[in-house]
Amino acid sequence: MKGLQTERYPRSSPRLQKKKERLFLILILCLPLLFVSPVSPAAQDYGDRDIISLSGTEDILSKLKGLSLDFLMEWKGRVYIVASPTDLVRLQERNIPYVLESDRFYRRLFSETAAQTSLNGAFHSYAETERELMTLAQDHPLIARVVDLGDSLEGRNIYALKISRNVHLDENKPAMLITGCHHAREWISVEVALLFCRHLLENDALNADIKALIDSGEVWVVPVVNPDGLEYSIHSYRYWRKNRRNNGTASFGVDLNRNYGHMWGYDEVGSSSDPDSEVYRGTGAFSEPESQAIRDLFSRRDFRALISYHSYSQVILYPWGYKHDPSVDEGLLAGLARQMADLMRPVNGRDYGVERAGDGFYLTNGDTTDWAYGEYGVPAYTIELPPVDQLYGGFFNSEADIQSIFAENLPAMLFLLNWTVSDSGSDLPFRSDSPKTDTKRKPAKIKSPRR
């Protein structure tokens, strides 16, 4: 927006007892991808992918081990998968029967997207996100500032909005980071992040509690970590997940949420060394400029908490993700998460699960929350937004649900921000200048939240 200056942030050189068990098994076996474009049935190029379903019995699931299939969902006793020709051959070799479901899925997709006024409807594109951030900063110049964290692979700016009193001064107050859109297809994550910015800024002069938070702390919001992927998801393949790295092997993309430095490449379960995989971790920790942008921001501020928004599953996840074992700070991490879930429930009646990521959900390594906790000792959460499940994988949130999903997340964000500003100092297990180890620290204790 003309007339508004953005600060470019310095960069370093070159960048959730049986159901749980079944869900864990399915998600370990199959991680989601669907090559779909929201353009029109006539123009749609499905490529070589098919949506198939197969029986969800334990016998069938056990035969899927080692196939690294792309899981879409479990529905009425059947497991839905996005399959390549090679996947179909492997299923046939193992005598696993399946049913082709592509036409039914694609028809539903197009009937829903046709009602939208544009390809992304009420959901923000990259350019729309940029304009929204610039407008917020222009309308609230004393407490909001747009910061350019650097460029994506394709040259798009990765923006953060800093919210704080005396926003242009480098006071380095206790800070909380909120990120959205590590994964391109998870559009709802962008909306929750943007709406939180707007809520804080518009209520600064109206709500004494919010004013006090802005006075005493910093909120940094990066609504779109993966701008190239978001644009590709909107204009080419709706279910695109990764960034747009050309891997040089006729495959594209690195999973940015497997590219962080803590336990990067720990095993082939929580991430993959195969560039074709949807959880491809890249050639090295922080090989991607998008993850580098978050790393560099985090290293320069006094961050005390982090929320990384994703979809779908309706669950709050906390470290560790790379292994099943709890951290020494299980009490603090789980306690804060439970309090957030308790605050979210009354808003719309939706229950968000609370799980240690590696124990109740699926294993991940090199992800944002393990990195923030493992390297800096701060409580870090992945919040998987609604729905718990739906016929098309949970990524198609209705435009009408944007406000309600934000509304139920708002008290959780405010709670964690309040903890960041008021309680975090004595509860943090260690600060960024302390030894980065998981074995020699005493568990932190939970304080009662200040409301």
Q: How far apart are CA 254 and CA 276, in angstroms?
A: 9
384 is catalytic: yes
pLDDT per position as a tens digit, 327-375: 999 999 999 999 999 999 999 999 999 999 998 767 899 999 999 999 9
Through-space distance between the first and last CA atoms of the chain, rounded to whole angstroms: 37
Indicate the domain borders of the chain: 19-113, 126-427
> Quick one: pLDDT at residue 426?
53
Low-confidence ranges of the chain (pLDDT < 70): 1-49, 66-68, 70, 72, 103-119, 361, 389-393, 425-451
Answer for the pair 358, 322: CB distance below 8 angstroms, yes or no.
yes
Pick the catalytic residue: 218, 231, 278, 384?
384
> Quick one: pLDDT at residue 448?
28
Q: CA 180, 183, 188: angle at the middle one, nearest 5?
A: 50
According to CATH, the topology of domain 126-427 is Aminopeptidase (3.40.630)
Structure tokens at 13: 């050189």
Q: Could you give the angle at which helices 402-422 and 208-216 cross, rounded to 10 degrees?
A: 60
Q: How far apart are CA 146 and CA 133, in angstroms?
A: 7
Answer for the pair 175, 200: CB distance below 8 angstroms, yes or no.
no
Q: CA 235, 130, 161: angle at the middle one, nearest 5?
A: 135
pTM of the predicted model as reported, rounded to 2 decimal places: 0.80
Answer for the pair 149, 160: CB distance below 8 angstroms, yes or no.
yes
Q: How far apart are CA 37 and CA 184, in angstroms?
A: 13
Q: How far apart are CA 101 and CA 97, in angstroms?
A: 13
Mean pLDDT of the residues in the chain? 82
